[in-house]
Every structure is written in C-alpha cells, then in structure tokens.
Amino acid sequence: MSPSETSHVPFVPETAFGIWFLRTRTWEHHVLRVAINDLKRLIDAPLPVAPVIVDVGCGQGISFRLLAEAFKPERIVGIDFHKPSLALAEHAGRACPPQTTIEVMHADCAQLPLADASADIVFCHQTFHHLVEQERALAEFRRVLKPGGVLLFAESTDAYIKSWVIRLLFRHPMHVQKSADGYLDMIRHAGFTFSSRNISLPYLWWSRAKDFGLFERLGLHRPQPGKRRETLVNVAAIRST
C-alpha cells in the first residue's frame, strides 16, 4: 500500500510494552497455543488438505509455526499494519516447516490485498479489538474466504480490554470494544454461520484482571457461565454462500 493509501487508516499504535509482550513465551504458550488448540476443536466442517490460511494481524509471526503444526497448510499469508513487526514475522516464517510457504504483507485488515475466495481459513486472534473499522474488516474476511471457508476468531471482550491493567499497559480504540454476544452478533450479521458447538467462552486466569484467577486457585470462588462477565470468546464460523 502506498503512503496515500495508508495515511487515512484509523490506527491506534501499541505501547512499547505491548510490542515486547507479543514476543514472550507467555504470549506464545499461554495465549496463542491455547487459542489455536481451542479453535481447532471448534471446527466441525471438513477442511481441505493443505489449506491456505490468512493470518490477519499476524504481528511478529509467532503464530506461524503453531498454525503450520495444527493445520499443515500449503501457505500462510500474514497481514499486519505495523511494519517493524512484519520484519520480525518474516524471520519467524523462515523457522516454519519447509512444506508451508510463508508470505507477509503490509496492509490494513479493512482492505486486504488478496483476491476474492482465495483462502480456506482466516485466522483472527486478538486482533479485532485493535481495529476501528470492524464491519469493513469482517466484510473483507468474508470476501477472501472461499464459500464454506472458516473464520477462526479469538477475541478479548470489553470486560477485559477496559480493565485497569490493560488500560495501563496497552492501547486500544475503546469505543469499538464489545461483549462476547456483541462480537458473535456482528460475525453472524456479516454473513457467517455457526452454532453453540462452534463457540467457546474461555475464562482463563490471565483474562481475569481483577484477581488473575487467584481466588479460584485458592478454592474460594469460581464464577459460572451466565453469572459472570465473559472475558474471552472463540468461534469457528463458516462463510455462508
């Protein structure tokens, strides 16, 4: 994308802490790995052998190896707007299995430089709460997916993003944050289908900024679904024809 094309893109720069955190072992092991395993479990539609995956908001490419191991794709296309992260993503791509081609692109998620119906999977992990133009981004995800293709969507909800610790350490466009139901409704209205068996509402310790799961580990308190503010939502949604 040329400077004239990107100058108008709504963009909230991440903090230096946030950029550092996204290359830590904690991020890879406790966040990315767990999410990919959960999303794979939620898929109940057949996937093609050696699929093409578009990793929107790929950041520094930490997800590439995990996606390659989970789905054995022919190709992964990493998209991100933060150029310094893409330089690291290119390096991460070289550590992936040789049977998977890795390509990285500098682009806005609301204007993907990809052909219609060119992907089998769109992987959107902890990216959507950074995006200002969320409806446009979802329309782009649907456009580049083949009919029957899968959107793997893993996101933190407003209950987590608006917590004091996240406000202190990271930067996000607060006016677009949504609840789990809000994200699910948006995905459904954008032309994707899913049922309750394709949805997961993890309540992981790191997403509970109030006590980071300490009360639960002490056996004092474990809020149940329906009686808590969900902090995470995962869904495997199919592009409807």
Tell me the C-alpha distance between 241 and 239, whole Å.
Answer: 6
In this prediction, what percent of the chain has a pLDDT beyond 70?
86
Position 170 confidence tier, pLDDT thresholds 50, 70, 90: confident
Per-residue pLDDT tens over the stretch 176-199: 999 999 999 999 999 999 999 999
Per-residue pLDDT tens over the stretch 84-119: 999 999 999 998 989 999 999 999 999 999 999 999
Please name the amino acid found at residue 191. G
- Tell me what pLDDT residue 8 has: 66
- Tell me what pLDDT residue 241 has: 79
CA distances from 180 to 101, 175, 226, 228 (A): 34, 15, 12, 12
Which has the minimum average pLDDT: 75-79, 122-126, 190-194, 223-227?
A: 223-227
Tell me the C-alpha distance between 156 and 126, whole Å.
Answer: 7
- Tell me what pLDDT residue 224 has: 62
Contact call for residues 182 and 155 (beta carbons, < 8 A): no
Name the CATH superfamily housing domain 13-239: Vaccinia Virus protein VP39 (3.40.50.150)
Position 18 confidence tier, pLDDT thresholds 50, 70, 90: confident
Reply yes or no on whether the pLDDT at 17 is more than 60: yes
- Tell me what pLDDT residue 167 has: 82
Q: Which of 108, 175, 181 is nearest to 141 (CA)?
A: 108
